[in-house]
Structure 1
Amino acid sequence: MALSPFHLAIPVYDLALARHFYGEVFGLAEGRSSAQWVDFDFFGHQLVIHEHPRTASQEAAHTNAVDGHDVPVPHFGVVLPWEDWERLAQRLSERGTRFVIEPHVRFQGQVGEQATLFLFDPCGNALEFKAFKDIGQLFAR
Structure 2
Amino acid sequence: MVRKLRDERKWSQEQLAILSGLSIRTIQRVESGQSASLETLKSLASVFDVEISKLTEEITMIDKKAEVWRSQPWWFRWSFFGVPSRRVQLALELLALLVGIGAIFVADNHLIAPAFLLAAYFTGWTVRYGDSKKVW
Q: TM-score range by the shorter chain?
A: under 0.3
In the superposition, the TM-score normalised over structure 2's length comes to 0.21
Instruction: Please identify the structure whose Cα radius of gyration is greater.
Output: 2
The answer to which structure has the higher helix fraction is 2
What's the TM-score, normalizing by structure 1? 0.21
Bigger proportion of residues as strand: 1
